[in-house]
Structure 1
Amino acid sequence: MHPSQRPNNDLVYQIEDNPPFFNALLSAMTHLLAIFVPMVTPALIVGGALGLSTEITAYLVSMAMVASGVGTFLQVNRFGMIGSGMLSIQSVNFSFVTVMITLGLGMKNQGLTEDTVISTLLGVSFVGAFLVVGAAWLLPYLKRVITPTVSGVVVMMIGLSLIHVGITDFGGGFAAKTNGSFGSWQNLGLASLVLLIVLVFNCFKNPFWRMGGIAIGLIVGYIVALFMGIVDFSALQNLPLITIPIPFKYGFNFDWHAFLLAGTIFLLSVFEAVGDLTATAMVSNKPIEGEEYTARLRGGVMADGLVSVIATALGSLPLTTFAQNNGVIQMTGVASRHVGKYIAAILVILGLFPIIGRLFTTIPSPVLGGAMVLMFGLIAIAGVRIIMTHGINRREAIICATSVGLGLGVAFEPTVFEKLPILFQNPICMGGIAAVVLNLILPEDSQKKVFLDNDLEH
């Protein structure tokens, strides 16, 4: 049997099982612990990099939670053809962080107002999300294009391109570069403390403590920052009791230049979603080939697109199916989709209270940076695992090496392809497009594949 098709025999609750209330709630909280920080981090990164007001950044955070709850509800319930019908958790897509920052900074340099910048970014994302809906219908015809190698390269490039943002916050953030405190001992010490705590908890055998390591590191770092007097609570004053989601709160604007880049990221994110949904099916003891698999895949990708339509209309960055919950399913043995209903309800409730969104905006950049360096590195490693789990030979190695080389080359020297269309000036786009093209034109290799499987190491 292919290594990636081995069933998970440790499941306590199968997909259609309905656990007792306490068990379901405990499992839901475990999933939330694994995804909550990555869920709110993209809005904080984009808000900080673009210098957005606290009010806008907090609203992005709140709507990220609301939209993630709505999206998770759609995914786990499977309304007709929409949804995977698995414990697939929706959360903010990290793929768009670098793109949003690049586009947003360009707009600000053109003199556009803050509201116009955010309304354009969300407007472009709103239209682009329909590309994912359309791609769901084409999945059966894209098997030659959406391979594990291509999906893995895209995920890897997402992680690698974000590390620059993480290490910038590690040194104090974009604001610290302007006030001269970037890389100060205070910032480096605080960030290193958070990273050390996360690493220590990651060594524990108890899966609950391992999953909670990032949250615990952020909490401890935040407390230390309080004693250091570098936490600003002014954003928490005069808050309303409840945040009311308002469609297109900051208006609706559209830019074809930005759409070209964002639209490509949406199409590339389909590759990532396919990999995540396949992994969820695999750990949930569901087939990863045949009609049932195709139906779940199409429904999951379609939900991804529709949820991003809803999310961007409400004021959140685009969403996607998260990979983190696959590890939680393996560790807890709970694959019940009904647990997703509890997760969805909790997320919506948390998102409606503005104090929660605003509280996250008070986290100092070094505290976030200490966790993000590891978090983004793990995203890159997840891409490697997707590639290796499905096997790699000389052909796949050439595709990966060339794609990552070109993608990182753009990241290190952004002007190298400035005479080409803007698509080739983004690391994720460059790496993803290169992987797709090479996968289509390079001849098949008869060399035996090497799998990421312990049994084959002996």
Structure 2
Amino acid sequence: MADNEPPSEAGFVEYGIDDKPPLGESALLGLQHYLTMVGANIAVPLILAGAMGMPASATARLVGTFFVVSGIATLAQTTFGNRYPIVQGAPFSMLAPALAIIGVVGSFPGNPGWEVMIVHLQGAIIVAALAEVAIGYFGVVGKLRQFLSPVVVAPTIALIGLSLFSVPQVTSATQNWWLLGLTLFLIVLFSQYLKESNKVFKLFPVLLAIVVAYVVAAVLSVTGFYAPGTPGYVDFSMVTSAPALLPIHPLQFGTPVIETSFIVGMFAGVVASIVESFGDYHAVARLSGIGAPSEKRINHGIGMEGLMNVFAGIMGAGGSTSYSENIGAIGLTGVASRYVVQVGAAIMLVMGFIGYFGQLIATIPSPIIGGLFIAMFGQIVAVGLSNLKYVDLDSSRNIFVLGTAMFAGLAIPAYMNNVAAVDPNIAGPEMLRMGLEGVPLLGAVLGTKLVADTLFVIGGTGMAVGGLVAVVLDNTIPGSDDERGLTVWQAIAEDDEDFQTFFERRGNDGASGSPESAD
């Protein structure tokens, strides 16, 4: 393959990174991007609010805050950060340490309320995120790029999708499989079978599927076919009871409180988030029809995520990171336009202040979200595995590395979940610490709170476990660059000079500076 030859996926892209569809079309496409991640971006604040015992009025404001932070973080990342068309949203990787912090604060004397819990959570996020800023802009992650071959990236990306196969929106024992199946069927119908018959089906398969499935669920709810509380029921009373405007502003919940032990636990979540984002950058580059990200682009992406995590902490949200869901949407629609994502982010930013909007989005039944997850995360798994096209799959060492990394990335998080379920009165990290205390010779070290918290958070993140296992094995087991896929991959990867920051572009002949050749 010739130098800088774009991947074969370039022909699939309907709108490339620098393309700007008409504003009206971009607004719908941007809304579609955000609807793919709405389930997760609502789930995280609702989980946190439930754990803290927030009243309904504060919960509505917390959900709106997450949308405001998501909109601003996405605009910042797509403009000043890595400039990839990736939506930024609430990270699940930081949810485990957040819940652990809430649990510890809740045990403080005097039975502190949610106001005390959230300011401790904010302090931990802000300080841990400052470390992420340093990791990004000092080039720590980018320096590691030379050790990351397709043999490492493939299982890391695949595990981003596989790690969520057991989410309750898909595997709940009371699942409404009819509604989930309808949603999935519509996505497949529009995106695969009808995409050539009309451009609308090709560009808006997810949006169309959500609207049709939601209308069906709403009609069945209004007519009484779905009873309140059952999967698929649409509760419109949530919308009518919502406040019109939400007073969202920095430090709205109080002044952050800094506690060293909480910072350490949250930093473990930040590390897991960094690993996931690294995989996301490679996935979106591949689906956008361009080469693997350069060291410079990776560093600016991680650095900006750190800054936006600091901002999220100041606002009272639970963090911000790259979202895999909208990467899956790129795979289904071929819409990889940065402009589209920015328009969608602006819409979410405004809508975050409107109470009716957040509650309307919250009425989307979980089976519909489950159908989206199957399609979106299935795309991510496939994108990860597609990196193996550069790898010698007749090589026994490659097969061993891939298999071990994938299995470990599924098994270790399952073990951590089992540890956390042993005693509902003891937090998962504490249960792990108690077990590690008895390890011969190393118990005194492994049994410390710092080590146990870090191992629990990273060990519970599939892509982090699989990625770390793959990195160690791929860089210690002998293998040639050709065998590992590095030769071909490096030939199509962008160089550092191919990526220009926002300020470098502005400095080159003003606003009409030289374009990024990779974009």
**TM-score when normalising by structure 1:** 0.75
1:212 aligns with 2:215: no
Q: Hey, what does 2:345 align to over in structure 1?
A: 344
Partner of 2:25: 26
The alignment status of 1:399 with 2:432, answered yes or no, reads no
How do 1:240-255 and structure 2 match up within 5 A? 240-251=243-254, 252-255=256-259
Distance 1:101 1:162 in 2: 19
Deviates more, 1:414-423 or 1:240-249: 414-423
Residue in 2 aligned with 1:134? 134
Counterpart amino acid of residue 265 in structure 1 = G
Aligned length: 428
Q: What's the counterpart of residue 305 of structure 1?
A: 306
Cα distance, 1:404–1:97 mapped onto 2, change above 3 Å? farther
Look up the equivalent residue of 1:126 and give its one-letter code.
I
Change (3 A) 1:375 1:76: closer
Q: Tell me, what secondary structure is at the counterpart of 1:61?
A: helix
| C-alpha distance 430-163 of structure 1, shift in aligned 2 (>3 A) | same
1:427 aligned to which of 444, 460, 465: 460
Give the aligned partner of residue 268 of structure 1: 272
- Secondary structure of the residue that 2:321 maps to in structure 1? strand
CA drift of 1:367 comes to: 4.5
Q: What residue is the counterpart of 2:472 in the other structure?
A: 437
Q: Is 1:37–1:215's contact at 8 Å kept on the other side of the alignment?
A: no
The CA distance in 2 between the partners of 1:440 and 1:432, in whole Å, is 12
Q: How big is the shift at 1:381? A: 4.1
CA contact (8 A) 2:305 2:321 kept: yes
Deviations 1:215-246 (A, max 9, x none): 23651464134442324445445543322322
Q: Distance in 2 between matches of 1:427 and 1:305?
A: 21
Query: Greater shift after overlay, 310-319 or 231-240?
Result: 231-240
Indicate if the aligned counterparts of 1:150 and 1:271 stay in contact, CA closer than 8 A.
Answer: no
Provide Cα deviations, 1:385-429, integer angstroms capped at 9, x if missing partner: 4x4255365444333332333332233333566415233333215
Pairwise mapping of residues 28-427 of structure 1 onto structure 2 (< 5 A)? 28-44=27-43, 47-48=46-47, 51=50, 53=54, 54-78=56-80, 83-97=81-95, 100=98, 113-136=113-136, 137-138=138-139, 139-166=141-168, 170-171=171-172, 183=174, 187-206=176-195, 207-212=202-207, 215-216=210-211, 219-220=214-215, 222-223=217-218, 224-227=220-223, 228-230=226-228, 231-237=234-240, 239-251=242-254, 252-281=256-285, 288=292, 293-323=294-324, 337-385=338-386, 387-391=387-391, 393=393, 394-414=396-416, 418-419=435-436, 420=446, 421-425=452-456, 426-427=459-460
User: Which amino acid in structure 1 is aligned with residue 268 of structure 2?
Assistant: T
Map 1:1-16 to 2 at 5 A.
Answer: 1=1, 5-6=6-7, 8=10
What is the percentage of aligned positions where both structures have the same residue? 25
Shift of 1:318: 2.4
Q: Quick one: which amino acid aligns to residue 183 of structure 1?
A: T
Residue pair 1:157, 1:427 contacting (<8 A) in 2 also: no
How many angstroms apart in 2 are the aligned matches of 1:344 and 1:135? Answer: 26
Asked if 2 retains the 8 angstrom alpha-carbon contact of 1:12 and 1:333, the reply is: yes
One-letter amino acid matched to 1:276: D
Deviation at 1:275, TM superposition (A): 3.7
Structure 1 residues 447 and 74, CA gap change in structure 2 (3 angstroms): closer
Q: Hey, what does 1:178 align to over in structure 2?
A: none
2:513 is matched with none
**Deviation by residue 1:80-131 (Cα, 9 ceiling, x = unmatched):** xxx2344443333344455555665676688764444444444333322223
Counterpart contact for 1:163–1:377, Cα < 8 Å:
no
Q: Which amino acid aligns with 1:312?
A: G
Could you report, residue by residue, the CA deviation over 1:188-232 in whole angstroms, capped at 9, with x for unpaired residues?
555454444445445433223433365236514641344423244
Q: 1:48 to 1:325 in 2, by over 3 A?
A: closer
Question: Could you tell me how far apart the structure 1 residues matched to 2:379 and 2:327 are?
Answer: 14
Unmatched segments (≥5 aa) in structure 1 = 172-181, 454-458
Q: Secondary structure at the match of 2:163?
A: helix
- Corresponding residue for residue 503 of structure 2: none
Q: Give, in whole Å, the separation in 1 of the partners of 2:475 and 2:309.
A: 29
Contact 1:50–1:101 (Cα < 8 Å) also in 2: no
TM-score by length of 2: 0.68
SS at match of 1:164: coil
Matched to 2:280, the amino acid is D
Distance in structure 1 (CA, Å) of the matches to 2:373 and 2:332: 23
CA distance in 1, matches of 2:113, 2:389: 46
CA displacement at 1:337 relative to structure 2: 4.0
| Whole-Å separation in 2 of the counterparts to 1:197 and 1:112 | 47
CA spacing shift, 1:86–1:196, aligned 2, 3 Å:
closer
CA separation of 1:381 and 1:244: change in aligned 2, threshold 3 A: farther
Distance 1:257 1:200, change over 3 A: farther
Structure 1 Cα separation of the partners of residues 303 and 406 of structure 2: 28
Structure 2 CA distance, aligned partners of 1:365 and 1:324? 16
Q: Secondary structure at the match of 2:68?
A: helix
Question: Distance between the aligned counterparts of 1:246 and 1:310, measured in 2?
Answer: 11
CA spacing shift, 1:332–1:381, aligned 2, 3 Å: closer
Which letter maps to 2:406?
V
How far apart are residue 26 of structure 1 and its match? 0.9
Mean Cα deviation higher: 231-240 or 1-10: 1-10
1:448 partner amino acid: E
